[in-house]
Chains A and B, each alone.
Chain A
Amino acid sequence: MTAVVKAESLTKRFGEVLAVADLSFTLQAGTITGFLGPNGAGKTTTLRMLLGLATPTSGRALLFDRPYAALAQPARRIGAVLEATDFHLGRSGRDHLRTLAQVVKLPDTRVDEVLRLVELQAAARRRVKGYSLGMRQRLGLAAALLGDPELLVLDEPANGLDPEGVRWLRDFLRAFALQGRTVLISSHQLAEVAQTVDQVLIISRGRLVVESSLEQLTARIRGSVRVRSAQPAHLQHALTQANIQTTTSNDHVLLVHGATSDRVGDIAFAAGIPIYELFTEGSSLEEIFLELTTGAQP
């Protein structure tokens, strides 16, 4: 298997702020990877470094074994949508694509082809000013697809898409990956991409906290007990004494790992701590995502 994307100890520092810290991962051809983390976790900075828009403070990023800028015609191998707003508002969608197609010597017929592909041909000659956010997302995607790339990098592509648009994008990316091509898609919501991706990279505060398949991640959530109490700190202490791992979910809620709800109830009763809510988590991927990204050690 070939590594399509390889990040090697990528680090980016903005003055005092360490935006991305020692981030390493590899993406194989034919996979769809969700790049997840809360806002401000360093996703966008990482994507900029992969694509040669920002220079890493240290480490390096390789695409098809080369830094982005060293690829002969990167737009023919890699398509990227970074912001849904990267258009001159006074230029038509079609003209925007033509200015880019010109650079890689693609004919206007290719421009019309990608416009059809993203179902934007009706608005193609109108100025972008009049486009909805969803239309702009699709125009960005059209630009990324111009060069018929093997790798697609999408930063928060679901923003502004209606449910139908989200489904369209999911089907599109699935079909794209089935052709042996690769997708890296960032999001701050796991649920948004859970139905699309095969594997996830989760980062928090610039560091990689999870690199796993979606199945492995789903398996991790079993056996977690959610407990709401007036004295979560006392309860946490009591559980720790009993050798049970906990993480804080919010001010009043603890997530308890590797213990049944009965056991948690008994311990709380023995310690004299009132409990308002106690149940076993079965289904929420979002919970584990929150748990992983709010500072808890996995």
Chain B
Amino acid sequence: MIALTKSELLKLRTTRTAFGLLLGMSALTILVSVLTGLLSHAGTLSGTENERQLLGLGNLAGIFSALAGILLVTSEYRYGTIRPTFLFTPRRPRVLAAKLAASALAGLLFGTVGEGLAFAIGYAILSGRGIALSLGGGDIAQLLLGTLASAAFFGVLGAELGTIIRNQVGAVITLLAWGLFIDTLVFSLVPSVGRFSPGNASDALIGVTEKNLLAPVTGAMVLIAWLAALALIALPLINRRDVL
């Protein structure tokens, strides 16, 4: 299993795709952090929720690690490398497990880089503008660890989504539609249901307390439940579908 995971990590490292995503994420995180920090009024930057929002802009890593997870699976179908992959490892659930593990690790890296950048920039701007930090040490720890965990979560979610949908464009569109529209729509219409979505559960995990979010621990459990549910859909599909 370790050899298989290393192989999947090697796949990630040996094309430009993952590096491109990492670079894109970093650029976007820097841009948004700097603009938010410099253009907002001091009043909308102070207070725990506002600070959390600025310092937690690294959660942009979520969507990028989900894309990395999707591409780790769908590019194999797109380029046909899934054939040699399955020829070398005909027990397909093992391939799936290795891809999920590799995507989680990639997500951790994305989260570390993204949140590292966002936190450093946000912290520098807040102190530069003389805004005293009102978040406690525990809050900050939760924010940092939660963002990492959530980026790893989205990496796995992406790989599962890619396994279920297989078509690269279809999987990416599904992710974006789900993350950017459906989640927001459901949450604004029926918050009691919408708060269970991956995006809102991960907000709860990093400590966001506004709105009608779940408690952090419940949020973590909901995220795990999402991964388990998608794995249960993906597993029979990867086993059953022919690779022609």
Interface residues of A (CB under 8 A from B): 44-45, 48, 51-55, 68-69, 71, 74-75, 78, 80, 82-83, 85-92, 95-96, 98-100, 102-105, 143
Known: A88-B75, A143-B84. A103 touches B4 (CB 8 A): yes
Q: How close is A47's CB to chain B, nearest CB, in angstroms?
A: 10
14 additional A-B residue pairs with CB within 8 Å, beyond A53-B83, A69-B91: A52-B86, A52-B87, A54-B242, A74-B87, A83-B83, A88-B15, A88-B79, A90-B17, A92-B14, A96-B14, A98-B14, A102-B6, A102-B7, A103-B7
Residues from chain B with Cβ under 8 Å of A96 in the complex: 14, 81
Residue among B4, B17, B87, B244 having the largest count of chain A Cβ atoms under 10 Å: B87
Q: Which residue of B lies closest to A88 (CB)?
A: B79
Q: How far is the CA of A78 from the CA of B86 in the complex (A)?
A: 13
Q: How close is B182's CB to chain A, nearest CB, in angstroms?
A: 31
Q: How close is B225's CB to chain A, nearest CB, in angstroms?
A: 30
Residues from chain B with Cβ under 8 Å of A82 in the complex: 83
Contact call A99/B11, Cβ cutoff below 8 A: yes
Q: How far is the CA of A44 from the CA of B242 in the complex (A)?
A: 13
Counting CB contacts under 8 A, is B3 at the interface?
A: yes
Q: How close is B228's CB to chain A, nearest CB, in angstroms?
A: 25
Contact call B79/A98, Cβ cutoff below 8 A: no
20 contacts between A and B (CB under 8 A): A44-B244, A45-B244, A48-B242, A48-B243, A52-B90, A53-B86, A53-B242, A54-B243, A54-B244, A68-B90, A86-B79, A88-B15, A89-B79, A91-B11, A92-B14, A96-B14, A96-B81, A99-B11, A100-B84, A103-B89
Q: How close is A125's CB to chain B, nearest CB, in angstroms?
A: 11
Contact with A along B221-244 (1 / 0, CB 8 A): 000000000000000000010111
Contact call A90/B15, Cβ cutoff below 8 A: yes
Residues from chain A with Cβ under 8 Å of B86 in the complex: 52-53
Q: How far is the CA of A53 from the CA of B80 in the complex (A)?
A: 12
Q: How far is the CA of A214 from the CA of B15 in the complex (A)?
A: 45
Q: Which residue of B lies closest to A19 (CB)?
A: B244
Q: Which residue of A lies closest to B89 (CB)?
A: A103
Contact call B80/A104, Cβ cutoff below 8 A: no
Contact call A75/B87, Cβ cutoff below 8 A: yes
Residues from chain B with Cβ under 8 Å of A78 in the complex: 87
Q: How close is B23's CB to chain A, nearest CB, in angstroms?
A: 15
